[in-house]
A = this chain, B = another copy of it.
Amino acid sequence: MRIILDGMGGDNAPGEIVAGAVEASKLITDEICIIGRQELIEAELAKYEYDRNKITVADATEVIGMEEAPVKAVRTKKDSSIVKGLNMVKNGEGDLFISAGSSGALMAGGLFILGRIHGIDRPAIASVYPILGDKACLLVDAGANSECKPANLLEFGIMGSIYMDKVIGRHNPEVGLVNLGVEENKGSTLTKAAYDLLKKANLNFVGNVEARDVPQGACDVIVCDGFVGNVILKLTEGLAWNIFGLVKHKFTSTTRAKMGALLLKDKLGELKKEFDYSEYGGAPILGVKGPLVKMHGSSNANGVKNSILKAIPFAKEDVVGIIQSTVLEIEEIETSD
């Protein structure tokens, strides 16, 4: 298998991207092809010992910035790492594309270059949500679609369920809908209608979940529109940062506290790790015709390494094909009704 890795995306490119690729390469047999400005990437690679059969470089002279209008950028920058990398996946020269670049550009590129899976109206970003002290869950949509129809939420449930099963290995995953209350009749027009669709679908649907229960793993796949998903992810990040900042402040405010904190150093480190997004890998973009993974924009080498390792089953288990056949089956059942 050949993994195409965007060497130019994110805040720490290309240094941390290349470092993460070198780390990951030691643990896998697949080829990692880093795409981007060749001289920059080769200069970074020169810092490490690595297997030249397992890490290769593809040249792309342009870079799509985080602030560029996504659609325009994808349409005009034909020699950018994102456009060239996605074309490699489309043409069979790669099996998986991973990038810490702009979510908008990756989504636009996924749509224009790879195309939507037949029957999927709205591809979505699925983000692994770190359940504290326990197994992670998957949040779909994590921010791609700020406005959704009920059928889109059903699609998110189906795609998330397949990804959770095949990539994360959680079989028959529980699917829940973010809502104002757990009762069936609660919610907005959107969530009430989505509830009915999810309930009828061939999913392990457990009903509504309240935002309060998300951090303790209310279910395996958490379905919501992209606006709400964005709020859940960003608020979690902001709150965790804030609490750790406050803990640090309190724990260094007196000599006695400093002594206590010293004794708890290991435990504080463990706590911080539970919240470290770089442990959980990237966010798959589901619903496009090729495995495509968005890494956190500020990914460090460890985050890049984990994103590569955790994304491999996305391609190897043919998640795209399974989503396609599942959607076709549903269409056939609906047509024959």
Contact = CB atoms under 8 A, between A and B. Distances in A.
Contact of A180 (B227, B232, B262, B271): B227
A197 to B, nearest CB: 18
A243 B242 contact: no
A283 to B, nearest CB: 15
Contact of A249 (B133, B191, B215, B230): B133
Interface string A70-108: 000000000000000000000000000000000000000
A212 B228 contact: no
A43 interface: no
Nearest to A254: B267
Contacts of A243: 132, 240, 243
Given A180-B230, A243-B240, A264 B267 contact: no
Given A180-B143, A189-B147, A211 B231 contact: yes
Nearest to A227: B188
Interface of chain A: mostly helix, strand, loop or mixed? helix
Question: What copy number does this chain have within its complex?
Answer: 2
A274 interface: yes
A188 B44 CA distance: 40
Contacts of A260: 259-264, 267
A215 B242 contact: yes
A40 interface: no
A210 B241 CA distance: 14
A235 B238 contact: no
A253 B267 CA distance: 9
A259 to B, nearest CB: 5
**6 tightest CB-CB pairs across the interface, nearest first?**
A260-B263, A212-B238, A260-B264, A212-B234, A211-B234, A211-B235
